[in-house]
A and B are shown apart, each in its own frame.
Chain A
Amino acid sequence: GQQVMQIPQYQHVQEGEDFTTYCNSSTTLSNIQWYKQRPGGHPVFLIQLVKSGEVKKQKRLTFQFGEAKKNSSLHITATQTTDVGTYFCAGQGTSYDKVIFGPGTSLSVIP
C-alpha cells in the first residue's frame, strides 16, 4: 500500500537558521497537504499542492511538489520560536482515497 515517509524525524535549529523537511511517497500522488501541530495542540492545515513542480509560499514558508508528484518539501527561512512544532505531510493517491500522513518532523528552535 501507499507509504509516506518524512525526514528528518527531529531537527534542532538556532533561531534565525533555515529549516527544511522532506516528504517522500512510495506512489504517485494526486495532491499533498502540509499540517502543523504545535506542542499540546492538534494538527492544523497549512497548504495543499496539486500540480507537478508546484511551488507555493506563505511568508517565510516555501512548499514544493516534485515533478514526479512523489515528493515534497517544506522550507522555513530564518526560523522563529513560533515555528516550533511538528510538521506533517499528508499524501492522497491518484484514486483520491484516504489521505496518508507521514510520521512528521519535530522542529525545535533554540532562542
Chain B
Amino acid sequence: EADIYQTPRYLVIGTGKKITLECSQTMGHDKMYWYQQDPGMELHLIHYSYGVNSTEKGDLSSESTVSRIRTEHFPLTLESARPSHTSQYLCASSEPRENTDTQYFGPGTRLTVL
C-alpha cells in the first residue's frame, strides 16, 4: 500500500465556511489528483498537477481551488462551502514509469455541508 494521507477523514461544516482538505504523499510522485465521488458512483476528476507550481482543472467543473508549492503536498480549498459540495473527496498520486501510471489513492475525506 502506498503512503498517501488525507485529513480530515470526516468533516461536517455549515454553509459559507472556508475549508481546506489536506493531501500529502511521501513517495516523491510528481503527479497528483483530486477526485470527487458520491457514494458508489463514478470518480470525477476536479483538479490535477504534474509537478510543483503546475495545476490544471479536471473534467468536472468545481468551485474549489488547489495549490502545489511542494511536491508532497496538494491541498484543496473551498472558499465558501455549500450543501451541493457534500461528497467524498479522494486524493491520488502517480509516477509514470515506462508503460505504467498507477494511481495510489488516499483514504478520502467525507465532507458534509449543512
Residues of B with C-beta under 8 A to A101:
42-43, 45
The answer to whether A42 touches B103, judged by C-beta atoms less than 8 angstroms apart, is no
Cα separation A47 to B92 with both chains bound (whole Å)? 17
Cα separation A104 to B45 with both chains bound (whole Å)? 14
Among A11-19, A20-28, A91-99, the stretch in contact with B: A91-99
Residues of A with C-beta under 8 A to B84:
none
Residues of B with C-beta under 8 A to A42:
90, 105-108
The answer to whether B96 touches A96, judged by C-beta atoms less than 8 angstroms apart, is yes
B34 at the interface (CB under 8 A from A): no
* Contact digits for B82-114, partner A, Cβ 8 Å, 1 yes 0 no: 000000001010101001111111111000000
Q: A42-B106, A44-B105 are in contact. Are A98 and B45 (CB under 8 A)?
A: yes
Cα separation A101 to B31 with both chains bound (whole Å)? 16
Instruction: Report the minimum CB–CB distance from B23 to chain A (whole Å).
Output: 12
Residues of A with C-beta under 8 A to B104:
45
The answer to whether A48 touches B42, judged by C-beta atoms less than 8 angstroms apart, is no
The answer to whether B40 touches A43, judged by C-beta atoms less than 8 angstroms apart, is no
Beta-carbon contacts under 8 Å, A63-111 to B:
86, 88, 90, 92, 96, 98-99, 101-104, 106
Question: Can you show 19 pairs from A to B with CB atoms below 8 A apart?
Answer: A30-B99, A33-B102, A35-B103, A42-B105, A42-B106, A43-B103, A43-B105, A44-B1, A44-B105, A48-B100, A50-B99, A88-B43, A90-B103, A98-B45, A99-B94, A99-B103, A102-B42, A103-B42, A106-B40
Binding site for A on B (CB under 8 A): 1, 40-43, 45, 48, 90, 92, 94, 96, 99-108
What are the 5 closest A-B residue pairs judged by CB atoms, nearest first? A103-B42, A42-B105, A50-B99, A101-B43, A45-B102
